[in-house]
Amino acid sequence: MKLELIRGDIANQPDMDAIVNAANAQLRTGGGVAGAIHRAAGPGLEEECRPLAPIQPGQAVITGAHQLPNKYVIHCLGPVYGRDKPSDKLLAACYKNALKLAEEHRLRSIAFPAISTGVFGYPLDDAAEVAVSTIQEMTGTLEHLETIRMVLFSERDLQAFHRQVAGK
């Protein structure tokens, strides 16, 4: 399994089987990642999401990708930092549950944004530590996934993830 770190837009990862949405509980469009994904997917995505909502912090659900170039969207509800506790366990559950869904669907590639680090206020370095360590812990259980890509929006976010992978 290869863990890639890139700077980019989660809604523009055409070579990935699935992209992960940093969703809200209602699985509606919004700002940040959810807005970018729903805009690119078109209204069919919200329609498919409606009967699956609401979801709980740490939970993940899978849908089709509609007008996106991927096969699936996996929607994760990250913890709101300082409100949904324990935040680290809930954030780790997002990554675990998303990876489990990807495995169940025999996907070979998945791209994640930095869940909870935008509007939900999770400190970047702490979120990067949880994300990288959870992915590394799950590696031994993955049979189908070959590529896990973290898509970071800013250079600062990318550097924070690089530091975690380097163990610094």
CA distance 145 to 149: 11
To ligand ADP, the closest distance from the beta carbon of 152 in angstroms equals 7
Which residue, 25 or 139, is less far from ligand ADP as judged by CB?
Answer: 25
Sign of the torsion angle spanned by Cα atoms 118, 121, 122, 123: positive
**Total number of residues binding ligand ADP (CB under 6 A)?**
20
Amino acid identity, residue 5?
L
- Please report whether residue 10 would count as binding ligand ADP according to CB under 6 A: yes
Which residue, 32 or 44, is less far from ligand ADP as judged by CB?
Answer: 32
What is the pattern of x (binds ligand ADP, CB under 6 A) and - over residues 40-79? Answer: --------------------------------------x-
> DSSP secondary structure string, 95-123?
HHHHHHHHHHTT-SEEEE--TTSSTT---
CA distance 31 to 10: 13
Piece of 28-36, 50-58, 62-70, 84-92 that binds ligand ADP (CB under 6 A): 28-36
- Please report whether residue 125 would count as binding ligand ADP according to CB under 6 A: no
Which residue, 94 or 145, is less far from ligand ADP as judged by CB?
Answer: 94
| Interface with ligand ADP (CB under 6 A), residue from 116, 135, 145, 148 | 116
Q: How many CB atoms lie within 10 A of CB 165?
A: 14
Which residues lie across from 75 on neighbouring strands?
Answer: 21, 61
Name the residue among 146, 155, 152, 145 with its Cα closest to residue 131: 152
To ligand ADP, the closest distance from the beta carbon of 160 in angstroms equals 10
Piece of 3-11, 44-52, 60-68, 142-150 that binds ligand ADP (CB under 6 A): 3-11
Contact 74, 101 (CB under 8 A): yes
CA distance 94 to 131: 9
Q: By the criterion CB under 6 A, which residues form the site for ligand ADP? A: 9-11, 22, 32-34, 36, 78, 113-120, 151, 153, 157
